Amino acid sequence: VHVRHKDGQVTPYPADSVIAALGFTADIGPLETWGIEIVDRKIMVDTAMRTSVAGVYSAGDITEYAGKVRLISVGFGEAATAVNNAATYLDPDQPLFPGHSSDDPAGIGAATSH
Ligand SMILES: Cc1cc2nc3c(=O)[nH]c(=O)nc-3n(C[C@H](O)[C@H](O)[C@H](O)COP(=O)(O)OP(=O)(O)OC[C@H]3O[C@@H](n4cnc5c(N)ncnc54)[C@H](O)[C@@H]3O)c2cc1C
């Protein structure tokens, strides 16, 4: 395996296999220029997953708030919170809670949803 460093230097290493370990360091790229409050490469959000920029929501490991727990299930929940709050931002007449699919006897997808 040949590893090319940022300075262009290449170091050869003997290896039987390569296991990629990606995503350990957040790289927020252009988001850094949007004016969003970012602390230690994490996007600060409130309980509605609102960032410091109106109309911009965030969810998942990239978010930060007091008591944050970085697990898959937490990210899923935050995504639902972010999407439903974004929907009411776009259309304030929409209810924040979209309802349960099981509320409608016609079946999944038939209930009011964003
Ligand atoms: C070693 C390890 C083990 C874990 N085990 C568990 C576990 O057992 N159970 C559990 O619940 N959680 C576990 N987690 C935590 C879990 O992986 C995360 O909570 C979850 O993956 C977060 O999902 P996410 O979509 O927010 O972020 P990610 O899964 O990190 O997805 C973010 C995506 O955005 C991409 N990205 C980054 N920057 C940019 C950019 N500038 N432009 C475009 N795309 C970009 C990344 O490449 C990545 O694909 C583990 C984490 C680690 C590191």
For the segment 66-110, what is each residue's pLDDT rounded down to a tens digit?
A: 999 999 999 999 999 999 999 999 999 999 998 888 887 675 555
Task: Classify 100 in phi/psi space as left (phi over 0), alpha (psi -120 to 50) or beta.
Answer: beta
> 64: Cβ below 6 Å to ligand 1?
no
Output the CA 16–ligand 1 centroid distance in Å. Answer: 27
- Residue 20's pLDDT band (boundaries 50, 70, 90)? confident
Output the CA 112–ligand 1 centroid distance in Å. Answer: 30
pLDDT at position 29, please?
85
Q: What percent of the chain has pLDDT over 90?
A: 67
Which has the higher per-residue pLDDT, 23 or 25? Answer: 25
* 3-class secondary structure, 10: strand
pTM over 0.95: no
Q: String of b and e for 48-74 (b: at least 16 CB within 10 Å)?
A: ebbbeeeebbbbeebbbeeeeeeeeee
Q: Residue 101 has what DSSP assignment?
A: G
Residues 6+ apart with CB under 8 A from 96: 84, 85, 88
- CA-31 nearest atom, ligand 1: 41
